[in-house]
Structure formats: C-alpha cells, structure tokens
Structure 1
Amino acid sequence: MTRFIALLRGINVGGTRKVPMADLRALCGELGLTAVQTYIQSGNVVFTANGSTAEHEAALEQGLTRVFGLQIDVMVRTADQWEQLAAGNPLRAAAEAEANLVLLGVPKRPPRPDAAAELLERATAGERVVAAGDVLWFHYPQGAGRTKLSPAVIDRLVGSPVTARNWRTVLQLAAMVKG
C-alpha cells in the first residue's frame, strides 16, 4: 500500500464547482481508498491505496463527474514524490518568509520545456517562475490575486492543466502523508 496526495483543481472557489469535503471523502471510500483525509476546502486529499498515480487520477475524475456532475482535473502524487517536490523548492527563502505568496504548480502532464521562460516574459511586479523537474514554482510578491499570470495563461504555456498550492499547504500535506 502506498500513500498518495490528490489535488483537485478549481473546486469551491467563489461559490462555484462545490464539492463538500465529507462527500469527497465518501467518494474516495467508494473507490476503495483508505485512511482518507482532506485538508481545507480547496481539494487536497491524502489516502492509502494500491495502484498508480494515473489510475487514481482517472478513477477520481470519473467519480467526481458521476457524483457531482463536474469535470475536475485531478493530479495525484505519491508521498515520496511529494517529499521530493517539497525538498526541491528553488524558492525556499521566499517561501519561508512569505509562505502564502509562493505556490507549487502541479501540472497534469510535464510542462513544455520553455514554459517557465514564457511565463517569466509575462510576469510583472517582481514575480518569479522557476521550473523544477515536472513542476513549476511561482512567487507572487504582490499576491496571486494581482498577477496577470491567470490560470488560462499558465495552462496554455505549460501545455496542460495546472493546479497550485501555497507553501503552507505543501508543508501541511507533506506532514499529513507521513502521518
């Protein structure tokens, strides 16, 4: 059995695409996932199961469509992968100083090789974008709500849907998946 983290993209934002966490945990149980925990309302799930990340992504996406009638992208990583992502944060100093202003961007598929450079060309107000393996790290000194790097722009330049979590959430999920 392996510990996993699933990230649901774009739920419970601005009163739309509502997915209650209790219902999400119930769905996970129906799918055979065990030791299921959620963290905050933005779609973070820690669970134990056999199988691959791709299998769990597909099962969760199909289940979310069936139960909630919503097409939601799900990105799944193993506990080991998550630990490596957290340890490899190239913006650690900024993250420790401003945990809510540094975000980990987890794409559905590996980003295009030039994605970070193209995003940096559009960045303003000291924003930084750094590729680290199959993820991107963002620093929004003025806050993510003020950036011109919208989710649509990020998805287009990365070449796949991306979901992001701030440094505080990255660390909390790392603690949960170990626990």
Structure 2
Amino acid sequence: SDCDHDEKLVYPWKGIVVNIPTTKAQDGRSAGESGSKLRDEYILRGFNPTRVRPLWNYLGHSGTAIVEFNKDWNGLHNGLLFDKAYTVDGHGKKDWLKKDGPKLGLYGWIARADDYNGNNIIGENLRKTGDLKTIAELTEEEARKQELLVQNLRQLVEEKKKDMKEIEELCS
C-alpha cells in the first residue's frame, strides 16, 4: 500500500545488488562471492529471496547480482523491504548513481523500468527473465484469473447437479 501502483517493476520481483567485491584470478578473469552465500545473508536479514544469481560476462564475475523473490505479494513485500533497507543505509540506487568518489559496500534496490531497459548486463538479464508490470496491472490480472476460476467452478457445480439429477431419476 505504501508504493506507487502505476510504477513499472520487473516481475517476477527482482532486486539488484552492485559493488560485489571481485578478485582477479591467474587467467585474468574475475571471481566473486557466491550467490548462495549472499542469499543466506539476505534470508537472515528477513528479505527471504528465493535465489541470488551473480552475473557473469566474458571477463568473469561482473560484481553485480540479481536477487529473485517469490512471485506473490509476499515476494513484492520482501523486495520493497530489501529496497528500503539499502536506501535507509545510504546504499540505494540514488546513492550508487551519485558521482562522489569511490563506493564502499554493497548497494541494492528493487528492479524497475530503467534497470530493465538498461543497455548493460543487468538490463539484458532482466529482459531475459522478467517483464515490466505495474501493481495495478497485476491486481487486475489476478482479479480476472479469480473471476475465470469462479466461472469454471460454477459451471462444474452445475454439471455435477445435472449428473446427480440424472442418477436420481435412473434410481427412482
């Protein structure tokens, strides 16, 4: 309820983490922290992601990762908590984009339209694995699916009543 229902977010809900420390291997490629370790840290912090996927390119670990949350409303809630926690700590998206010298620590936010449309490794990955949707669109879609389910159940009940009537007539 405390977010913009017309803002486009990446669905299924995803977060972005940047500035993950990487080290150079002997072959010149980068290596970084594993996704499962980061996922476990986020679970302890109460964000409950389903998965954290570090993003790799031809140079190795890119220092970025996608945090995946459940597709349901709890997943959105966890994603927004994730976003808010980093923003409050001064490590949100706006802080990352500031041009004020070197950045220390991880920065994170929930994936939005500008991330999805970005011409970088994050945007490419988001376009492959998600769609842009507003909360209002998802609410409408959910209501439509619910109505369709109710209609199908009504039809099923009517068919069962008809079958039961036929059986009663045969028995009598």
Smaller-chain TM-score range? 0.3 to 0.5
Instruction: Say which structure, 1 or 2, has more relative contact order (CA 8 Å, 6+ apart).
Output: 2
Q: Which has the larger radius of gyration?
A: 2
Tell me the TM-score normalised to structure 1 length: 0.36
Q: Specify which structure has the higher proportion of helix.
A: 2
Q: What is the TM-score of this pair, normalised by structure 2? A: 0.38
